[in-house]
Structure 1
């Protein structure tokens, strides 16, 4: 399954050791061994590499962070994002490569509508870079600022589903924030940059609480370093849940948590002391009900074990707006999901007459969906049966 050529950018004196895999081992066990192997050797199979011409279309990066720089590019005629690895210290280069390979293998395997797809890895142009689909609407915070009419509930549901999916595969994001959540051409939120926190930490000369500006989203257990400076707390699904609550603030306000505070210490002290962002005053009109606000607050519990499972949060979001769950069912109905969703949106605006011109199976599915949300769904007679005047 995983016997593939080694990536040409890897050191030639490395060789992937062969390991006997029994027929009884599951695909997940085989993949786990494969991922561990890539992490130990710092090598990738050829199927994970970008082959062909990859061109940067700008002279300067469009964004920079603790991990590296992000460039706009063209690959196979399509716009792509190129995220290059940046490591300052020579003794960290090999370590970074191994961590990079281990995380890339996982990201390449993931497929979910709320996760940014990774196309592959490239070494040209240098340095080593990840290439992903271009998200034309930018990050979620800038998106809601430019498009105040968008459904904040839908965006939050997208993000929650993506994060829940990662956790179901034992993947911790570790750096969830609005800047790492992008919006695709259809206006759906997609999680980006998961699993890269450890690599980014190689470049940090300060404590993890102040690295990369992520302290506003970090759970208290990740911030209380003064209690034991020699103990490093790693991100967990529970700390991801805490960060999701902070992302909810971004989605409903278009601002970072605690926007009035500019000093990192002031923010971290509030979080460690148990203080949380206040309820946005105008967010109720955008869907932040009392029930949902209580759920967001539960994600901020001081003790990690007191935070609810993400599935519970997703269920609540689907319950407060049932149409969301129906739209997801509609997406599963046919490969042409974007077309179906557009038709459903049209029907919500124009009613039964929108059924004209649809295939019978499409029409029946949409009628059933309408019946379930309590809307009139009996199609009007076709034009040929209408009386003429």
Structure 2
């Protein structure tokens, strides 16, 4: 079946005009075994970066699938591929919402052509799976770099209670902001920034993962309203911007709102809200409900008060009042210099 999202939202602009989709099951399926999509080398922030990802997974070279985790639309495994450790994600076929699960798979590829140190790199993706690797509940498979088995959710709330001093959480926040700055500069909005979707590498570097809710925006423009056909859009309700809860304008500023909630969690190691889901969503929109900036001792110091002011801007009800990811970074670096 054809992708419910136009190929222009999945592939770089210098590729998709020449892709003959026809009636194939996906824009990936038209390429023969062993082919790759190669985007011409371009300069990014003064550095030369080759954007390359494969439309084929060489299944005979895949070894030892070990479960790592699972979510609403997929399961992730650790595997060996061509001598390297990789992460393999199988996107599930959701029986209750088949359209959303298909959209989730295609959305995973929105950042496939991008390379950045704070974004999980896509290696290959396909909808064509051999019988011995097959899974009737799977729509497609994505191979990615293996960052590690830890994410910020585990660092913040895990039983091991890892130390999270000011320098560390500020560094983590800056990592996420750098990743968002790069994504937004290429027209990609993630739409599900939260601790569980930020992986932490063995070098203690944060990388943004799980693009199943993402979209690409033409020239970084705001979308005036969310199409009812884009049923996967929205992310996690505790981190969702008010405009998304209302089904209104969509822009990169939605990620900044989620970044603010995530950073608050890094600082406090508490859950942002308690209570019924519908009550929380209504209160966020109608009454400006936000996580508390007064009751936690972390916000009592001078550094804490500056952090609170920055978070207040990030989760402003009006997207235009929130800083961009580009604007966030100098503030975070200035805060780190005080530690």
Verify same fold: TM over 0.5. yes
Query: 1:108: Cα distance to partner?
Result: 2.2
Inter-CA distance 254–37: structure 2 relative to 1 (3 Å threshold): farther
In the alignment, is the contact (CA less than 8 A) between 2:191 and 2:233 conserved in 1? no
- The equivalent residue for 1:57 is 65
Distance across 2 between alignment mates of 1:83 and 1:234: 30
Query: 1:241: Cα distance to partner?
Result: 1.0
Stretches of structure 2 lacking an aligned partner (at least 5 in a row)? 3-10, 37-53, 216-227
Name which of 68, 72, 75 aligns with 1:69: 75
Distance across 2 between alignment mates of 1:78 and 1:316: 38
Whether 1:129 and 2:129 are equivalent positions in the alignment is no
Query: 1:321: Cα distance to partner?
Result: 2.1
- The equivalent residue for 1:362 is none
Whether 1:42 and 2:55 are equivalent positions in the alignment is no
Report the RMSD for the aligned CA atoms in angstroms.
Answer: 3.7
Higher strand share: 2
Distance across 1 between alignment mates of 2:102 and 2:23: 8
SS in 2 for 1:111: coil
Q: Please give the TM-score of this superposition, normalised by the length of structure 1.
A: 0.62
What does residue range 293-372 of structure 1 map to in structure 2 within 5 Å? 293-322=308-337
In the alignment, is the contact (CA less than 8 A) between 2:104 and 2:212 conserved in 1? no
In the alignment, is the contact (CA less than 8 A) between 2:242 and 2:284 conserved in 1? yes
- The equivalent residue for 1:138 is 150
In the alignment, is the contact (CA less than 8 A) between 1:35 and 1:102 conserved in 2? no
Whether 1:257 and 2:279 are equivalent positions in the alignment is no
Query: 1:110: Cα distance to partner?
Result: 0.8
Inter-CA distance 222–311: structure 2 relative to 1 (3 Å threshold): same
- The equivalent residue for 1:221 is 243
Query: 1:192: Cα distance to partner?
Result: 0.6
- The equivalent residue for 2:113 is 109
SS in 1 for 2:75: strand
Query: 1:173: Cα distance to partner?
Result: 0.4
What does residue range 54-203 of structure 1 map to in structure 2 within 5 Å? 54-58=62-66, 61-89=67-95, 92=98, 100-101=105-106, 103-104=108-109, 106-122=110-126, 123=129, 125-126=133-134, 127=138, 128-145=140-157, 146-149=161-164, 151-194=168-211, 196-197=213-214
Q: Select the structure with the greater relative contact order (CA < 8 A; seq sep ≥ 6).
A: 2
Greater C-alpha radius of gyration = 1
Name which of 6, 9, 17 aligns with 1:33: 17
Inter-CA distance 319–76: structure 2 relative to 1 (3 Å threshold): same
SS in 1 for 2:317: coil
- The equivalent residue for 2:305 is 290
Distance across 1 between alignment mates of 2:20 and 2:307: 40
Query: 1:132: Cα distance to partner?
Result: 1.3
Distance across 2 between alignment mates of 1:39 and 1:240: 35
Inter-CA distance 265–143: structure 2 relative to 1 (3 Å threshold): same
Distance across 2 between alignment mates of 1:31 and 1:286: 51
Query: 1:120: Cα distance to partner?
Result: 1.2
In the alignment, is the contact (CA less than 8 A) between 1:108 and 1:118 conserved in 2? yes
Alignment size in residue pairs: 280
Inter-CA distance 276–102: structure 2 relative to 1 (3 Å threshold): closer
Higher helix share: 1
In the alignment, is the contact (CA less than 8 A) between 1:152 and 1:287 conserved in 2? no
SS in 1 for 2:111: helix
Distance across 1 between alignment mates of 2:114 and 2:23: 17
- The equivalent residue for 1:21 is none
